[in-house]
Structure 1
Amino acid sequence: MRHYLSSITISRSAHSRAAGGPAFFAKSGPPSLRKKEVMVDVTHSRSRRVGKFSRTAVALFGAGILLAGCASNNDDGGTTDGDTGSASIVTGMINEQGDAGTPVAGGTLTYGVQVLASSLDPTKVAARGGSGGEALAAVYDVLVSYDTATGEFEPKLAKSLETNDDGKTWTLKLRDGVKFSDGTALDANAVIASIDRYNAGKGNGAELWVASVTSMEASDAATVVFNLNTPWMRFPSMLALGHGMIVAPSSQQGDKFTAVGAGPFTEGVFSPSVERIFKANPAYYGGAPKLEQLRMVALNGPQANLESLNSGQLDVAYIRGLTSAINSAKSAGYPGYIDVLNAGSAEIINNREGRPGSDVRVRQAIGYALDPELIDQRAENGEGLPGSELFGTTSQWHVDTPGIAYDPAKAKELLSQAKADGYNGTLNYIVLSEPKDHAIGLAVQSLLQAVGFEVNLILANNAGDIVQNVYVKNDFDLAHAGIGLYESIPDLGLYSTTNSTSKSNTAGYANPAMDQLIADLQQAKDNASALAVISKIQTLWNETVPSAPVGGLASFWAWQKNVHGVVPTATGIMLFDQAWMGAK
C-alpha cells in the first residue's frame, strides 16, 4: 500500500486513536478539531544564592533538557467558544476570529518571544516555538508542516512525501520552481546537502536521524529518496523541524555563514538582546508575504509579554508557563493558540556514578516523595497541570498507566535502605531564582526533607552557570527543569532525553530495556501500537525513575484582534507567511 502525504497524511485524530486504526487516513472535507480540557484544583529551609537572575535564563533552562536536547512541548489541537478565566487548560485555537475580509498588505508585526535566536544557522538553534523556531521558519520555511488541529503532517515547501513500504522508504517530491532568496534553485541536491550539513553540525535531532536514516538519494532534480533501517511512520516529523529547514549551498562560505533560504522573509537587522527584523521576500513561492516586516523582541518573561500585549506594543505575545497570565489573556478575549509541553516541569536526577542518583533506591525515593499537586499549589495557586506522568491528560499520547504515585512512607523506606548502605542523604539541588521556579524549588526541598533527605537549595541566577554546571559539567544532584515531550515528535523527545547513547541525555540515565522500548515506539505502525509501547515506557519509568516529572507546561501565543493568518506548526512554531494586520 502506498501512502501519500499530499493527500493522505499521518493522523492523531480521536477517532483513529479510539479505533486503533492506521496512522494514515484520507482527508474528506474540513478537519475535525479536538478539544482537551483539564480542571485542576511545605516548609522553608536553608538556601544559597548564585548571582542575579534574568528571565532570559528561564528561556534557556526553563525548557530544561530541551536546552541540551530537543527543547521540550505539545502541538495539540482543539477549539473553544472562547473559554475564559477558569483554571482549565484548553489546547488549540481559542477566541477564534470570524471572517476578517480581504487581507491587507503592509506593516510591521512585532512578536514578543521568549528568547531571541542568537544565530540563524539551524545547526546552532533548536527549531522550537518562542525560542528560535519562528526565526528559522521565516528564513527557510519547512519542507513539511504540522496541522495542530488534526495531527497531520502536510507538504509545505515539498509537494508530497510518500511511503510505499509502511515507513522504511520515503520519497519526497519538491515543488516546481522554488528558489532560494539568492535566486538559485531549491532542488534535490540542495536538500541532501543541507541535511548532510545539519547532521555534520550536530543540529537538534541529528543523533536520531543518523541512527535511523541509512541513505539519501536524488533520483532526479525534484525527488529525494530517504532509506531507513527500520519502518518509521512518524518520520515526517523530522522534516517539519531543523532537518526540513533547507539552507542554500551559498550560505556557507568558509567559516562565514549567511542565512539564505527559500522562506517568506529574509534576514534584516539583528541587535543582540534587543530585536531581530526580517524583510518580506517578494519571490517566496507562496506569494509575497502581506507583512512588510516581521520583528521579534525578547522581553522579561510571560507577564511582561502580556502587559506589552495589553498596551499595544506587541502584536503577538508568547506567554509561557505562567497560568495566571494565560488566563488573563484568555479572559481579555485575545485570539491565539494554547499548547502544553508534556513533562515540561520536572526534577532532573543525575544518574551518573558517584552521584546519589546512581542508586535506583534514591531515585525512587525522590519520585515517591514528590506531590505534584502540592508543588502546583505553591507555584501556580493550583491552576497548573500537575502530574508525574510523561504525557498528561491533554495529550494524545496519554495512557492509562499512571506516573509514580506520591507515597512518603515508601520514600522514607527506600531512603533508609540507601542510608544503611552508606548514603548520607544529601542532595545539591539547582533551581533558577525566578519567582515561580523558586516557589517550586522550596516546595520540592520541603517534600524531600520531610522524608529524610538533606537538600541544599542552590538558587542559580546566571544562565551561563546553569549551562556549565548542569549541561556541560553535569555537576548537580538534582535540578528543576523539564523533560519536554512534544506532541508532534514523541520519538525524538524520548530518544534525546533518555536513550543511553544520546549526548542530550542530561540525566545520564542508561537502561538497555528503555532503549529497546524507545526503538519499539519509533517502529510502531499506528497510534494504537504507539500507545501500547508508551504504557510500557511509563511502567519502566516508574520502576527506574530516570527523573521525576511534576507537571505539564502550558503556553499561549496570543495576538491582537486585528492580526490574522498566524498558523501554528510543530513544537509551537508560529508561521507568518500568510499573516496580515487589519486596522486597529
Structure 2
Amino acid sequence: MNAPSRRKPGRLLAALVISAGLIGVACGSDDTGSKTTDATSPASETTGPGTEETTPVVETTAAPPTTAAGEVPVPGGKVVMAIEADTSSPWRPSEMVCAIACYQVIRNIYDSLAMPNGAGSWSPYLASAITPNDDFTVWSITARDGVTFHDGTPFDGAAIVENLARAKEGILTGNALRPVETIEVDAADPMTAVVTMNTSWAAFPFTLAGQAGMQASPTWLAASDTDDTLKSQPVGTGPFVYADYRPGEVFSMTKN
C-alpha cells in the first residue's frame, strides 16, 4: 500500500509567492497614471511609390450650403472631389464605358429620361410622360416642356429619337435596347417619340433611367461625328455645364 504523498514546503512557498504577485498585478491595473501604454500605432506618414500617381479630380462650381441658422446662401464657391478612376473618354452616351466614377461625373452633365424612385419603381425625369400601349409593345415618350440643352438646342421628340437611335447602335447600350424595333417622332406631336418593340417589354422605362436614356444635344452629337476633340466636351441638360477635361487629371464644370 502506497503512503499518502506530501507536498514539499518549497513548492508551497513558491505557489504563495506567485499568487501574491498575481494579486499585485490585478490591483495595479486600476492605475490610470503615466505607466499605461498606448498600443495603437500612429498612422504612417510615409507614402510608397504608388502614391505618386495622379488621382483624377472632379471640380464643380456651385452655391455653398447654409452653414448657420438664418444665414442665406449666396452663389459661388467651389467643390473639389477625387474619383477612383477616369473611366470614360469620349463622353458621348452611346460610347461611354461608364463605371461608378463615370456616373459620378456625367450625371452632372446629362439627365436621363427616367429615374428610379423610392418605391422601387421608376418615374419620368427629363421626360414628362412615358406611356405604354396595352401590351407594352409601343411606348410614347414625351419631352418635358421648356428644356434646352447647354448649347441652346431645344429638347423635343426629335432629340429623344436621335439619342435613342444612337444608343441602340452603341456597343454597350445597344445590348440594353435589343427589343427596340423602331424609334420615330410622333406625327401628331413633335414633343413625343414613339418606340415600337419586337416583343412586350414592361420594364423598358428602367433602361431609360440608365446610360441608354441619357440625353445629349443633337447639335453637339452631329458636330462631334466629324471632330473627335468634341467627343470629350459633353453637352447635356444637367445642373452643371462642361468647362474643361484633361484625361487622368481633372474634369471641371460650372453651374448651369
Q: Deviations over 1:341-390 (max 9, x none)?
A: xxxxxxxxxxxxxxxxxxxxxxxxxxxxxxxxxxxxxxxxxxxxxxxxxx
Give the conservation status (yes or no) of the 8 Å contact 1:250–1:260: no
Q: Deviations over 1:495-522 (max 9, x none)?
A: xxxxxxxxxxxxxxxxxxxxxxxxxxxx
Aligned residue among 123, 137, 155 for 2:124: 155
CA distance in 1, matches of 2:159, 2:144: 13
Inter-CA distance 176–110: structure 2 relative to 1 (3 Å threshold) = same
Matching of residue 109 in structure 1 with residue 79 in structure 2:
yes
Please list, as runs of the form range in 1=range in 2, the aligned pairs for 1:59-458 lying within 5 A after superposition. 104=73, 105-119=75-89, 120-128=91-99, 130-147=100-117, 149-202=118-171, 204-209=172-177, 211-219=178-186, 220-251=189-220, 252-253=222-223, 254-256=226-228, 257=230, 258-281=233-256
Deviation at 1:136, TM superposition (A): 2.1
CA distance in 1, matches of 2:195, 2:81: 36
Deviation at 1:216, TM superposition (A): 1.2
What is the SS of the residue equivalent to 1:233?
coil
Give the conservation status (yes or no) of the 8 Å contact 1:117–1:135: no
What is the SS of the residue equivalent to 2:86?
coil
- Quick one: which amino acid aligns to residue 238 of structure 2? G
- TM norm structure 1: 0.29
Inter-CA distance 112–255: structure 2 relative to 1 (3 Å threshold) = same
Give the conservation status (yes or no) of the 8 Å contact 1:160–1:174: yes
CA distance in 1, matches of 2:87, 2:160: 23
Please list, as runs of the form range in 1=range in 2, the aligned pairs for 1:537-552 lying within 5 A after superposition. none
Inter-CA distance 170–274: structure 2 relative to 1 (3 Å threshold) = same
Inter-CA distance 273–177: structure 2 relative to 1 (3 Å threshold) = same
Q: Deviations over 1:49-76 (max 9, x none)?
A: xxx989x9xxxxxxxxxxxxxxxxxxxx
Q: Deviations over 1:238-290 (max 9, x none)?
A: 11112211121221321333422111111112232222111111xxxxxxxxx
Deviation at 1:151, TM superposition (A): 1.3
- Quick one: which amino acid aligns to residue 92 of structure 2? D
Q: Deviations over 1:272-310 (max 9, x none)?
A: 2222111111xxxxxxxxxxxxxxxxxxxxxxxxxxxxx
CA distance in 2, matches of 1:168, 1:101: 53
**Bigger CA radius of gyration:** 2
Greater relative contact order: 1 or 2 (C-alpha under 8 angstroms, separation 6 or more)?
1
Give the conservation status (yes or no) of the 8 Å contact 1:126–1:242: no
- Quick one: which amino acid aligns to residue 169 of structure 1? V
- Quick one: which amino acid aligns to residue 128 of structure 2? K
CA distance in 1, matches of 2:81, 2:241: 16
Q: Deviations over 1:206-239 (max 9, x none)?
A: 1231x20111121121111111111122111111
Identity %: 29
- Quick one: which amino acid aligns to residue 144 of structure 1? A
Inter-CA distance 213–267: structure 2 relative to 1 (3 Å threshold) = same
Inter-CA distance 53–208: structure 2 relative to 1 (3 Å threshold) = farther
CA distance in 2, matches of 1:212, 1:102: 52
- TM norm structure 2: 0.63
CA distance in 1, matches of 2:113, 2:192: 13
CA distance in 2, matches of 1:123, 1:53: 33
CA distance in 1, matches of 2:83, 2:131: 34
Give the conservation status (yes or no) of the 8 Å contact 1:169–1:226: yes
Inter-CA distance 185–107: structure 2 relative to 1 (3 Å threshold) = same
User: Gapped runs of 5+ residues in structure 2?
Assistant: 1-48, 54-68
- Quick one: which amino acid aligns to residue 206 of structure 1? G
Higher strand share: 1
Inter-CA distance 216–123: structure 2 relative to 1 (3 Å threshold) = closer
Give the conservation status (yes or no) of the 8 Å contact 2:94–2:173: no
Deviation at 1:177, TM superposition (A): 1.5
CA distance in 2, matches of 1:255, 1:275: 21
Deviation at 1:124, TM superposition (A): 2.8
CA distance in 2, matches of 1:127, 1:266: 19
CA distance in 2, matches of 1:249, 1:212: 23
Q: Deviations over 1:113-159 (max 9, x none)?
A: 2212432222332444x321132221121111112x32121111110
What is the Cα-based RMSD across aligned positions, in Å? Answer: 2.5
CA distance in 1, matches of 2:94, 2:175: 12
Deviation at 1:178, TM superposition (A): 0.8
What is the SS of the residue equivalent to 1:171?
strand
Task: Tell me the residue number matched to 1:46.
Answer: none
Give the conservation status (yes or no) of the 8 Å contact 2:176–2:212: no
